[in-house]
């Protein structure tokens, strides 16, 4: 581990590349670290479980620009939370869309009813005007025949 850190520090500053084993997605490769320090496969878990080992490797990894041990778990939890939030937002958007469709249908129905009411009012105004004219004619002494 010390040799890897010395190698890293020996590189020119702006062109440094990680010397710790890394995964293609930029995380420290714990299995490769375990092999490099001659741990058995059954002992590899200690790099995750023992805080002093995890912290040492994480300090070196972060210093070299790699994501630390356990970052995949944090990322997966973040991905899960993001997916859950996206599902909730999709459900909310779907409900809002459905409410908008229902509101448009109610609006269209009310508009149709309003148009029918306006037409009825106009017809009643016309009938009322005819009846007023007939009453005025009767008051003037003319005989008027009423047809409905």
The answer to whether residue 148 is domain-embedded is: no
Report whether pLDDT(54) > 70. Answer: yes
The answer to whether residue 48 is domain-embedded is: yes
Structure tokens at 85: 């939030």
What residue numbers bound the domain in which 44 lies? 2-69
pTM of the model: 0.42
The answer to whether residue 82 is domain-embedded is: no
pLDDT at 24: 81
The answer to whether residue 138 is domain-embedded is: no
The answer to whether residue 106 is domain-embedded is: no
pLDDT in tens, 14-36: 778 887 878 888 788 788 888 88
The number of domains in the chain is: 1
CA distance 2 to 45: 21
């Amino acid at each position: 581990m010390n040799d890897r850190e010395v190698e890293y520090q020996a590189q020119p500053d702006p062109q440094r590349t990680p010397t710790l084993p890394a995964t293609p997605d930029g995380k420290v490769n714990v299995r490769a670290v375990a092999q490099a320090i001659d741990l058995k496969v059954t002992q590899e878990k200690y790099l995750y479980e023992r805080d002093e080992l995890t912290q040492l490797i994480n300090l070196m990894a972060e210093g070299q620009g790699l994501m630390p041990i356990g970052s995949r778990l944090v990322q997966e939890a973040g991905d899960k939370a993001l997916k859950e939030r996206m599902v909730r937002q999709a459900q909310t958007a779907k409900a809002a869309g459905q409410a908008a469709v229902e509101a448009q249908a109610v609006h269209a129905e009310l508009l149709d009813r309003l148009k029918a009411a306006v037409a009825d009012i106009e017809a009643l105004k016309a009938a009322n005007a005819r009846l007023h004219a007939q009453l005025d004619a009767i008051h003037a002494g003319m005989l008027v025949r009423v047809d409905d």
